[in-house]
Structure 1
């Protein structure tokens, strides 16, 4: 500023010296009259008035510029003060949020907006705090205000999505998520996951599969979307289930076969595919599917389903033959042998039941489940002393006496096998929970390309 003033002053002095030099050399000219609308005015007066007018204009410009600068500084200081006040209240609000004091946080965020009405972080956090306090409608108001100021702000759109979900307005939530995906078509991984999960909740499996395919094309690290890989077979499987519910048996079979071929370790497919074959009148293919489910995944539920099928049709010999064929052709003989012995026990063929179970006993270590059935056989024969010995072994080894299941994703228990967990919305996660030597074969390593992926709830 001082340099600028010095330059202006120096320029004015030089200009005055230059003008005085011109006047001294043009005295005669200055004495000449100047016609001004018919009036004869000395030329010197005209030049003097012109110079004064120019000087005054310049002086006014200098003063106006100085005043404008002062006003700008004053306004800037006021804005900075309001920003500092808003930021101070905003930080206090964040501290209250971290301290689980939502009402105090709301108060601080409101004060921040009083200091700076369009302060985006405060608008977002105030809305979040209101939603956490059970006031989603008010939260929606502030988040919409933030969106009006910043129409394509991604955090604001996510906040509006959460508000809509809190209000159970899934259509509105999907609208905001689609807008996020439009803005970031290959990067909005969170938005695509949320949208996919909404379609899953609605049972719109095909639309969910479309979003799942977009997730597969997203430009993110493979590690970041590893957990999403397991959704693809689940959604393909569920489309087949829907076709089956619509009595489109042939289409359901075709869909399930695609899933079995592409994802052979997806165990639920074998159960539902066998059901589809049965509904389509193809019993032999259903049995083959159950057997294939055990061969590829050591999945005992398939064998139990096959066993029940033969019992319901009054053909226990058919189940026995299938068990014997499987035992003769598989490397994993222990579990089918045990199930065959258990089946003989259910049929009251106690001699064969004990013979098979004794063979199994020689191939495994301590098995409470095996001792339980040996005890039951002895009890049916009236040999109570031997039965009690076996029961004591059961109590010593383990608690559960029958198969029970647990979701490997959310650990939800179930007394029976299920293909879909309604608690965490995952497929193919229920496995037997008891710890027993009979299950050792099932847990042996197998060449499954996505078996170790853990499905987590959203």
Structure 2
């Protein structure tokens, strides 16, 4: 069929050529070089131009086809190479997940050697270094990965994590800032940088970061938690003025008053506001803040602050009046009775103090502090038997003296010996408390030696 088509086209072309020659019998001269020319009929020249054009088109077609073939060959070769590298990489990751670090390193290194531009391979190899406790090598490898793909957030997060494990807080913070420079609303980077700044005591920067985090938490289950953290950081920023001059103290006072107003249940705000007022030379205002704080929150730190304030001012009577009035209002406030009894012991009001402390003990409270104070009070009154019993209760001593055990690995204490530490899970790690001190204090044993004939009698005469 192809041959017949070719013959038909040839016949048609010849027919057209004869017809075209009959219509154009004129001779035409064409100069193709100075002094050189070709003279022929118009039909021949026209057909020659057509054939030359067809030939040029055919050559261009051949070149295009050849170029596409070369391109496809390269693509196929690259595809095979990529499949091979991916297979090696997956095998390395599989070994990594199974805990076979040696083979994981071999496979991943092969993958890196064959394709140094794959960021995933660098990340997997960095994990191998981290698990083998080689964080510095992981940092170097991640630095190479960052050069390969500077925009990869995964590389930067991993690098920051390794810096964190190395306690290179500043480098970790700088890496998180780099992430935020590429993705300013990245929640994970914002939280991580905030936590690092909190650890470093950079309260103003932490506060600004927390405000951004709170915007993203609005309407979510984390909103209340983030609002509370923002309040805490706002408090820390305010407290930076506590160690400053009078101007800074007044600024801190205003900020803390706003915090107490906005969050009446925020304990540190009340405590620190009283501290500021005391430093500003207004002890009555400080005591008023702490008294109101105790009435509202019932926390013992207010009573501790009040006791220190009035004793330093040489005015324990005012504090005693406060305790007595409050006890009449709330007779079941055991925290108040505890501090009331403790103050009485300090002021040598022994019987009144013992009365308050015994009421606390009789209510079922069993704490070392109560027993120690009761022991002190009875000791001052010469009731030594009762004092000894209270001291025993404070120390947890029963008829069987419990020595106790401590874990050599994590330091967790246990009353009874156990084969495995309940805290860290290490086996055979519980030892008697003080074992290391006892071992360190042991004197060197005397080396045994033979006693020769007659030496014993000589020794006996010394």
Q: Give me the TM-score of the superposition, normalised by structure 1.
A: 0.72
TM alignment of 1:341-356, pairs within 5 A: 341-356=341-356
* 2:207 aligned residue: 209
Aligned-residue offset at 1:280: 1.0
CA RMSD of aligned residues (A): 3.8
TM alignment of 1:14-29, pairs within 5 A: 19-29=13-23
TM alignment of 1:65-104, pairs within 5 A: 65-100=64-99, 104=103
Are the aligned partners of 1:366 and 1:397 in contact in 2 as well (CA < 8 Å)? Answer: no
Answering whether residue 281 of structure 2 is matched by residue 281 of structure 1, we say yes
1:341-376 CA-to-partner distances (Å, cap 9, x unmatched) read: 2322333322212332344455x2353454554454
Aligned-residue offset at 1:84: 1.5
Equivalent-residue separation in structure 2 for 1:193 and 1:239 (angstroms) = 18
Aligned-residue offset at 1:282: 1.0
Are the aligned partners of 1:367 and 1:397 in contact in 2 as well (CA < 8 Å)? Answer: no
1:301-324 CA-to-partner distances (Å, cap 9, x unmatched) read: 221232233233333323222222
TM alignment of 1:106-121, pairs within 5 A: 106-121=105-120
Equivalent-residue separation in structure 1 for 2:231 and 2:351 (angstroms) = 44
Gaps of 5+ in 2: 32-36, 399-411, 414-462
Distance 1:39 1:91, change over 3 A: closer
Equivalent-residue separation in structure 2 for 1:75 and 1:353 (angstroms) = 94
1:82-129 CA-to-partner distances (Å, cap 9, x unmatched) read: 211221232233234334555654443332232222212123334454
SS at match of 2:39: strand
Q: How many residues align?
A: 392
Equivalent-residue separation in structure 2 for 1:221 and 1:9 (angstroms) = 79
1:54-76 CA-to-partner distances (Å, cap 9, x unmatched) read: 34334323433332232222111
Are the aligned partners of 2:217 and 2:223 in contact in 1 as well (CA < 8 Å)? Answer: no
* 1:64 aligned residue: 63
Answering whether residue 185 of structure 2 is matched by residue 191 of structure 1, we say no
Of 266-275 and 18-27, deviating more is 18-27
Distance 1:359 1:315, change over 3 A: same
Equivalent-residue separation in structure 2 for 1:273 and 1:199 (angstroms) = 25
TM alignment of 1:5-404, pairs within 5 A: 19-29=13-23, 32-37=26-31, 38-43=37-42, 45-100=44-99, 104-127=103-126, 129-130=128-129, 139-140=138-139, 142-162=141-161, 173-186=172-185, 188-218=186-216, 222-224=220-222, 227-247=225-245, 248-330=248-330, 333-361=333-361, 364-369=363-368, 370=370, 373-387=373-387
Q: Give me the TM-score of the superposition, normalised by structure 2.
A: 0.71
Equivalent-residue separation in structure 1 for 2:275 and 2:290 (angstroms) = 10
Aligned-residue offset at 1:213: 0.8
Of 58-67 and 245-254, deviating more is 58-67
SS at match of 1:277: helix
Equivalent-residue separation in structure 1 for 2:372 and 2:132 (angstroms) = 54
SS at match of 2:40: strand
Aligned-residue offset at 1:214: 1.0
Equivalent-residue separation in structure 2 for 1:54 and 1:117 (angstroms) = 48
Equivalent-residue separation in structure 1 for 2:202 and 2:394 (angstroms) = 47
Are the aligned partners of 1:368 and 1:395 in contact in 2 as well (CA < 8 Å)? Answer: no
Equivalent-residue separation in structure 1 for 2:233 and 2:300 (angstroms) = 24
Are the aligned partners of 1:215 and 1:225 in contact in 2 as well (CA < 8 Å)? Answer: no
Distance 1:387 1:131, change over 3 A: closer
Are the aligned partners of 2:283 and 2:309 in contact in 1 as well (CA < 8 Å)? Answer: no
Distance 1:334 1:164, change over 3 A: closer
Are the aligned partners of 1:83 and 1:115 in contact in 2 as well (CA < 8 Å)? Answer: no
Of 210-219 and 200-209, deviating more is 200-209
Are the aligned partners of 1:93 and 1:108 in contact in 2 as well (CA < 8 Å)? Answer: yes
Of 196-205 and 78-87, deviating more is 196-205
Equivalent-residue separation in structure 1 for 2:168 and 2:384 (angstroms) = 64
Aligned-residue offset at 1:240: 2.6
Aligned-residue offset at 1:262: 2.3
Equivalent-residue separation in structure 2 for 1:285 and 1:240 (angstroms) = 19
TM alignment of 1:385-424, pairs within 5 A: 385-387=385-387
SS at match of 1:348: coil
Equivalent-residue separation in structure 2 for 1:241 and 1:160 (angstroms) = 34
Whichever of the two has the greater Rg, that structure is: 2
